[in-house]
Structures are given as C-alpha cells and as structure tokens.
A and B are shown apart, each in its own frame.
Chain A
Amino acid sequence: MLREGDARIPSGCAISGIFSKAGKRMSGEAIIKSIAVMHERSNGLGGGFAAYGIYPAYKELYALHIFYDNTGAKKECEEFLERHFDIVNLSKIPTRKVKEVTDEPLIWRYFVAPLPTKLAESQLDEREFTVQCVFRINTRITGAYVFSSGKDMGVFKAVGYPEDIGRFYRLEEYEGYCFTAHGRYPTNTPGWWGGAHPFALLDYSVIHNGEISSYDANRRAIEMHGYKCSLQTDTEVITYIIDYLHRKHGLTYKEIASVIAAPFWQTIGRMEPAERAEHEYLRIMFAAQLITGPFSIIVGFAGGLLALNDRLKLRSMVVGEKGDMCYVASEEAAIRVIEPDLDAVWAPSGGQLVMFRLHGGDE
C-alpha cells in the first residue's frame, strides 16, 4: 500500500469551525460535538482539529507538533532542532487510550525559538526560517513529520473518526478562541496519520472538503516558489497558496479569495472601473493560483478565521452567528447542535469570502 504522498488520494469530507470574536476561550468540547453530528460524512480514515489561543504561556514560541515513526527518527530530528532552535520546552502530547484509535506514532511537542546565530546566517526572516526547517525535516528525515508549526496554536490529527480523535487528544482540556475540525472520507486507505487534516504551516491551518481539478497546475506553480508538496493533497497545496499569497506577497485575505475563487470574467466585466482593474490584475498576475473544482475551506490563522467556497459552490457550507460567536460547517445541523438559537444562519455563495477576526484585529 502506498503511503500518503506517494499517491494522490481524493477525499470527501466534513468541516466545522467555531470562532469567538470576543476572544473568549472555550474548551474543545463543542467542536467535537459539532463534527460528531456529521459522522456520516467521514469514513474513519482521518480526522483532526486545529485550535488557536491554546498556548498562552508560550505564545511567543513556535509550537512544533511532530509525529515520529520510531525513536531513531526522533533522535535525528531532535538533533536537527537543537542545531537550529532554542528548545524551551518539550514533552509528549498528552493522549488517552481510545479503542477506535490505533497504531499511534510517537507524538511530541516542542516550543522553540530560532537560534539567533542560525537565523542571522540564513538571511531569512524568522517565519521563513521556520518554514524551511519544517520542510527540511519533512522531506529529509525519514520517519519524522512536523504537522503543526504555528505560535499559540496547534493541530491534533489522526486516522479514525474525528470525535474519537478529539477524545484521544483530550481536546476538552484545551482552551482557545477558535477551533476547526475535519472528518475525512478518502477513497482508499492511506493509514498514515500525517495524511489526516487539518494541514498547517506556521499559524495557517486549512481544512477542506472537495477535490480540486486544478491540483497539478497549482502544485507545479507553487513548487516553483520553494514549496514541496510531499502529501499530494488538495489541502496541502491550498495551504501553501495561502501562505504564498499572504506571507510572501502581502495580499489581503479578500484579495486572496479573489485569486483562488476568482470572479468570472463576465462578472469582472460588470464591475466599476477601479474594482475591475484590481480583479483583472489579480487574475492575470496569479492565474496559476486559481483553484477550480469543488471546495469548501475553513482557514484558521492568528486572530481570525475565514471560510470560502469554490466559485460555483459545488460543496455545501453554512455560516451561523450568535452574538460574538461565529460558526461555519458543512451542514447546518453541526452548528445547531452546539447553538440551537442562532441570530443568523446563511449559506455563502460561491467565491464569497466569509471572514471573522478578533475584535481590534485589522482588516
């Protein structure tokens, strides 16, 4: 059986996200309850969570979550980390035994800061330095896989149903202002925990339901800019595109939405001149980052959450709001189960950006 990354595996999925604009910290209970409602949308072959605001004590440090196949890989990876980072804290990620979740790798967490000397030597900024180290580990150290690398956030994922995975990782013991969850329905058995979602790079985490038809065009374009698509999944390439457009080009999330789910030319033709010029520019400049085919994605990032459908809306996605609380899910039921009394519930149209940010956040 080929491992994830050695073959391209299409998947259907369930996604859900909860965000508190007030920055109210909540436990992981609710998100587990939400994703569990959509049990039928996954098939037990992958699930996971991203949580933001969960490491306030270490919020200036990169939290690396790493899977190891064996202690040899751990040793080699830790040597690499010691050469490049100041490791402030390290521990096993706490888990509990759940009979539905088996074959777990070694799962470790490191709070790190780049070594100033190494950083200066590399001539990179801190974030790019960290990204390159993550790529280095994931492509060069066999049996080691960094699956979370942001500050004050973390990804927790595995093979299994998402509700079981939530219990496995004791998610109810974490408190954060934003949670996202993913249940996967892959069309064959990858059986590797690294292939589960969310997929994350720095503080960007992406969960995605769909199968994008532009995959190889997007992959080959993004690989030209130094990214390595080692998993061959849509979610991975979408994450890199968002990182590339946001971090490297400084596009706003609104502009990013206009690139990856670009309005049709006929729509652009009806816009006011200034707006039209801007959209034309984005489509020409970033033609290779246009994503076609069905997708609904929820992107978590430091201080915010965004949701976006493909331009034809070929996947279901519903948004709910209640006071400062915001919800996004594949199905309305997954929102109602945690907040039956919503102020508003609506389905964003294709290509329509939905974005929530902490009060006082920019944009």
Chain B
Amino acid sequence: MKLSGYQLFWITSISSMIMFTYIPITLALNEARQDAWISILLGGAVMLAVNWLVLRVCIQNEDKSLVRMMKDLLGTVLGKIIVTAYFAHWFLQMSATVKDMVNFQNLVMLHNTPMPLILFCMLFLVLYAVYKGGLTVISRCAEVIGPIFLFTLFVQLFLNPQQMNLKRILPVYADSGWLNIGAGALSSFNYMMDPSIILMLFFFAESKRAASRAVLWGTAVSVAWGLLATLVLLAVTGPDMASKMVVPVYSLTKMVSILNFIQNIDAFFIPLWLLGAFIKLTTCLFILSYGLSEWSGYRNWRRIACALTVVWLAYIIYSARIVQFSYMFRSPWMTGVFFPMLYVGFPLLLWIVGSVRKRHQAAGYR
C-alpha cells in the first residue's frame, strides 16, 4: 500500500472540506459574527502551522507510523497509553460524522426511513472499501471523487451573485473585538483539518517530499474554500441569520436561484457531500484498524476493521438516543483541551524528544 503525493492531496483536502462545510464555519460565526472570516483565516494559519509541525515529526520518523513512533520515542507503556487517545479521537470523529450524516438525511429527505438502515448502507460500503483494498482503494476513490467534489463546492459558492452584498461584513473588528475573533479562531481551527490522520498516513507515502507538499496544499485549499464560503455566506445572509444556521453551506445552496430557473442545487450538494464523507470515513476506519493492529500486535488489520465496524454501528445506534453526544463538538473541553493536545501537544513532545535523541546520537558518534 503506497500513497502518491497527488492522492494524499485529495485525501486531505476532501476529508477537511467535509468538516468545513458545517462545524468550523458555525463555530466561527457564533463567536465572531461578521468577523468570522478573520477567525477562519487565523484558524487556517494556525492549522497550517500545526501541519508544518506534524510534518516535521513525520519526516523525523519517516519509516514509522504514529503507533511505532510513540512506542520508540516515549517508551512502550507511555506510548501505548497516549496513542489510545488518538484511537478514541478517530473513533469519535467517525461516529460524529456518520451520525451527522444520517441525522441530516433523515431531516431533509428520508423522513420515515429508519436510521439504522441508512447507517448500515454507509458502514457496509465503508467497510467493503477498507476490507477489499485498504489504502489503495481509498486513494483511488479520492482521486476520482476529489476533482468533482472540489470543483462543485467551489462553483456553487458563486451561484448567488445577485443576492450578495459584500458590505454585510462591515464593520470589520469593531463589533466583535480580538477576544471573540481569537476565540472563534481557536475553537474552529480544530475542525478544519485533522493532522492526526497525517501522522498515520505519512508512513505510507511514496515520496516524503511530495507528500509533505501535498498535505500543506490540501490544507491550504480547504482553508481557502472555507474562507470563501464564510465570506459568501456573510454576503448573502448577513451575520445574524448565518450564525443561526446549523448546516450553513447546505442552506446557502438552497438559496441559489439563477434566472428563476436553476434552483434547488442542494440536490447536487447532498450526494457529493456523501461521496466526500465516504472518503473521510474510509480513511478514518483504515488508520484506526491499522493502528490498532500495530498497537495490539494482531497482524490482520482487515479483521480488526470488521470488528470495529460492528462496534461502530452499535455505538452509533446506542448513542443516537443521547442528545449530549451531538453537541460534544462544541464543548470547551474538546476544542480547548482535547484537540489541541492531540494536534499540537503530543506532536510537539514527539518532535522535542526526537530532536534531543538525534542530537544525542550525533554526539555519541563523535
């Protein structure tokens, strides 16, 4: 299983744009209102910096995946314990994404279809892709879906030209202040992209140079899209209405009306979003089962993927009854402690330990 830089670009950009279509924009809008775009810009810059850090760690340990990295640098016990946090994170993220997807479908289109049925179809597909070919299938799919996905998502932002009024983003800064803009940036950046995926996928990359470039480009493209989407949303609806939207980009597509003829573009947006979500979910399932197989020493990660899917399905059906889970992404513990720890804290630790060890080795040779 090898991953080319081009494929990595699509995997990172699709899986981050999937999240970008709703959570970060909403979080930024809630905090910073019409200055949400500044929050997104700042958050995007933070995310790129985090990515750079993560890539440094990856290049330092280019022949190891996250699990081995942790074990080698922090010791077997500590490494294994810390890595479980990443496992939990991937699992929660998968569950949250798929649950949002199912809820959304039930809300918008399939009013009466039982939730487990939709869930089952999606999970079956995801498992099938992972089981059949693992990363090869995922990356090929991403290569095919990616261009269509990216193109449509960019184009649909510009289908509202008559309703846009860029003056709605004024006054800049005065209404929110740095405190709110900063809070918006720091809470939204967590959902812009998932650097922990890189820690796992980088190991599979063919050319490490091309891969690091691909990751940075993938992030940059999705941040650019998110920034644009926020600006367009603000220009079309103004900050007050926008901050009340749960799925802002979807609502935006519903407002499209070109010459009173091209309307209801959401019919394109939803299937595409599903395709994108498929990429994200397969990626998460793959790295989780591969990581678990390395962690436990049980070599057959395909079987782990099967078992995981059963647990996953059960967990979602169980947690669907508990409303608190759906709002976990807003909790300050998640955005303020848990994610920054995973994205910045541990990679930084790995980097420091890795650099110190390298210097030691160099000194030892001398």
A and B: interacting chains: no
Residue positions of A touching B, CB distance < 8 A: none
